[in-house]
Structure 1
């Protein structure tokens, strides 16, 4: 059994530096993450990443730039995830904000605290979320 997931590395340029948007989950054990979600039946992965970014961040004005990577990854529960990682470009001036996701289900009642990072070394992302972060920061070395 496998699940299809779409992940978004949301990027901005701030003072000449490329940054990636991450969030701290209100459930501390969930760690620091990037927006992601499960692909619905008959939904393409690029539509999933757009939907998830809107539901999880509140952002509306962004552009899906490209698919960075696709892989198969085993989750802690043993389920295989077919993962799609996208690079998203946004012009966002806020340096941080809180947002209550509107996707429903497991996210009801949660609060996400968003902030930007400028390198892989700044934070430790939840397992699997940072697997392709080097492709974002490598482009701008």
Structure 2
């Protein structure tokens, strides 16, 4: 039986657009902030932490919990992810494009992340990797 790992996905929305990123490695595809919950961490806190760490944006806040689902990562990894998805917003005027980095809690070298905004109705969002686009339709428009 595959292990189940608790994960969070953060849809950071501003002005009807979703914050997405690509890595230097073209094979990693289009992504949104996401990550593993720490022991004892509440999912909404994990989503806020992951989004702040990965985007580097200040003034993020949780708007609502959009839902929860399971995603089997086979054959990439032998695990099932139990994902809680949150809608986040931010105050202020974020840049149109910006670079950030995933620091991996200092356990690995940082991974450069290249962020930009995509309108919520843009077909590019169909490219979100590993089922990350699940529950995008729950975002109020």
Task: Tell me if both proteins adopt one fold, taking TM over 0.5 as the criterion.
Answer: yes
CA distance in 2, matches of 1:111, 1:88: 22
TM-score by length of 1: 0.87
CA distance in 1, matches of 2:68, 2:102: 25
CA distance in 2, matches of 1:114, 1:128: 19
CA contact (8 A) 2:98 2:116 kept: yes
Distance 1:36 1:59, change over 3 A: same
1:57 aligns with 2:55: yes
What residue ranges of structure 1 are gaps of 5+ in the alignment? none
The size of the alignment, in residue pairs, is 134
Query: What is the aligned partner in structure 2 of residue 71 from structure 1?
Result: 69
The Cα offsets for residues 100-133 of structure 1, whole Å up to 9 and x where unpaired, read as 2234357623110000111241241112111111
1:108 aligns with 2:106: no
| Most deviating of 84-93 and 27-36 | 84-93
RMSD: 1.6
Query: What is the aligned partner in structure 1 of residue 137 from structure 2?
Result: 134
CA distance in 2, matches of 1:84, 1:69: 6
Query: What is the aligned partner in structure 1 of residue 89 from structure 2?
Result: 89
